Amino acid sequence: MLLNAVILILQETLEAALLISVLCAICCMQKQKFTALGVGLMAGFVCAFIYAFNLQTVSEWFDYVGQEVVNALLQSVITILIAVFFWDMLRRQNSSEQAVAGGRPLSMPGFMLAAAAIIMLAVTREGSEIVLYVGGLIQQTEHLQAVWMGTSLGLGIGISIGVLLYYGLLGLPRRWGRWVSIFLLALIAGNMWSQAVMLLTQADWIPSTQPLWDSSAWLPEQDLMGQLLYALVGYESTPSPWQVLAYLAGFVLVAAVVILAWPSQDPGGAGSGVGSGARA
């Protein structure tokens, strides 16, 4: 029971922890305070409880596929918010150069609100499963100690991996840290749309098709590496063509936004942008 609790909590924590880490790293590079992100996290915890307690009602919507539809919506909105995050951040980079030149102070950036909303939605989705799992187990008093220990260990390991990623990204040379962070968020954006498609296929809103490939023989999803890759980049051993297409679309959307919104006055593309603060 203990080991199972550790694995399950870790799986649920990891995906949100990695997303939060990359966002925190980018915000740190932008010399932003983490206040908004903390508020997003707290709001996520509250929403996770609300969602968990109402999951039965939600599940009954749309002829018992409400859970898939709502989760797909949450995932899809995260992808769009990642695009909004980069758009606002990079456009602001343009205007901040003008603002600095004009001596105007900058207000609370909209991209920080987008980051907070991303964290809130991700924690709502993953946290609600933890709430349901732990809530179910604590009804059985014989498992109580194992549950709390497993939950603490799972959360601890998940958060530790997130912290490692955060410092790893900040520890990279400035230019690399910036590009790796953008790349990871673009992959996460693709993964969110891919998962949304999987959920809508499960709900029979999208027709089911044969997998595009089957890599389960050499990299099973249930293995440690498969789990880690699933959490980080949304690895699937048997994805449908629609999932792959959605993944590519999410990735391309974020990549296109980054390219289009990239500061035009950026000298050689290295002096500003996402990594401007990392010089400090």
Partner 1 sequence: MTRLVLFLLALLSFGVAHAAPPVIEIEIKDHLFYPDVVVIPADTKVKLLIRNLDPTPEEFESYELNREKVITGNSQTVIFIGPLPAGEYPFFGEFYPKTAQGKVVIE
**Could you tell me which of 150, 131, 122 has the C-alpha nearest to residue 15?**
122
- Which residue in 97, 119, 116, 115 sits closest to 106, CA to CA? 97
Interface with partner 1, residue 203, by CB under 8 A: yes
Site membership for partner 1, residue 136 (CB under 8 A): yes
- Backbone Cα Rg of the chain: 20
* DSSP one-letter string for 17-70: HHHHHHHHHHHHHTT--SHHHHHHHHHHHHHHHHHHHTHHHHHHHHHHTHHHHH
Distance of alpha carbon 221 from alpha carbon 235, whole angstroms? 7
Residue 204 lies near partner 1 (rule: CB under 8 A): yes
211 binds partner 1 (CB under 8 A): yes
Binding segment for partner 1 (CB under 8 A), chosen from 23-31, 88-96, 112-120, 214-222, is: 214-222
Q: Of 147, 112, 133, 100, which Cα lies nearest the Cα of 39?
A: 112
Answer for which of 29, 198, 232, 278 binds partner 1 (CB under 8 A) is 198
Chain-centroid distance of CA 172 in Å reads 21
Task: Pick one of 107, 210, 264, 268: the residue that binds partner 1 (CB under 8 A).
Answer: 210
Identify residues 217-246 at the interface with partner 1 (CB under 8 A). 220-222, 236-240
Question: What is the DSSP secondary structure assignment for residue 238, as one 8-state letter?
Answer: S
Min separation Cβ 196 and partner 1, Å: 13
x/- string (CB under 8 A) for partner 1, residues 50-89? -----xx--x---xxx-xx---------------------
- Which range touches partner 1 (CB under 8 A), out of 22-30, 110-118, 153-161, 205-213? 205-213
Q: Which stretch binds partner 1 (CB under 8 A): 21-29, 169-177, 208-216, 271-279?
A: 208-216
| 141 is an interface residue for partner 1 by CB under 8 A | no
- Backbone region of residue 95 per phi and psi (left: phi > 0; alpha: psi in -120 to 50; beta: other values): alpha
H/E segment holding residue 196: helix 174-202
Please identify, using beta-carbon distances, which residue of 67 and 76 lies nearer to partner 1. 67
Site of interaction with partner 1 (CB under 8 A): 4, 8, 55-56, 59, 63-65, 67-68, 129, 132-133, 135-137, 139-140, 198, 201-204, 208, 210-211, 216, 220-222, 236-240
